[in-house]
Amino acid sequence: MIVKNVKELGELIRKTRKKMNFTQKQLAGICNVGVRFIVDIEKGKETCQIGKVIYVMVMLGLRINIPEVKINE
């Protein structure tokens, strides 16, 4: 899936969480973050800490794939 913005990322995280049968509270406990943080991610809050977002993604088995871009020097 190609994610183009934080709203789409939040939707992907929410769908994945639900597919794994986790509540927001359960996922927050597994990731050692607050429930509010999970709610904010799933709503697409743009100011969520990127490190924590990536950690939540990893805990859900999601990966980020960034293709290498060649820049002429």
Nearest CA to 54 out of 18, 6, 1 is that of 6
CA distance 20 to 51: 22
The reported pLDDT for the residue numbered 1 is 81
Residue range(s) defining the domain that contains residue 34: 6-59
Give me the CATH number covering residue 43.
1.10.260.40
Average pLDDT estimate for 29-55: 96
pLDDT above 90 for 2 = no
Contact in structure between 38 and 44 (CB atoms under 8 Å): no
Q: Does the residue 44 lie in any domain? A: yes
For residue 29, which phi and psi values (nearest 5 degrees)?
-65, -45
Give the number of other Cβ atoms within 10 Å of residue 56's Cβ. 23
Report the percentage of the chain scoring pLDDT > 70. Answer: 99
pLDDT in tens, 54-73: 999 999 999 988 888 888 76
To the question of pTM greater than 0.85 for the whole model, the response is yes
What's the token pair of residue 54? 């990536």
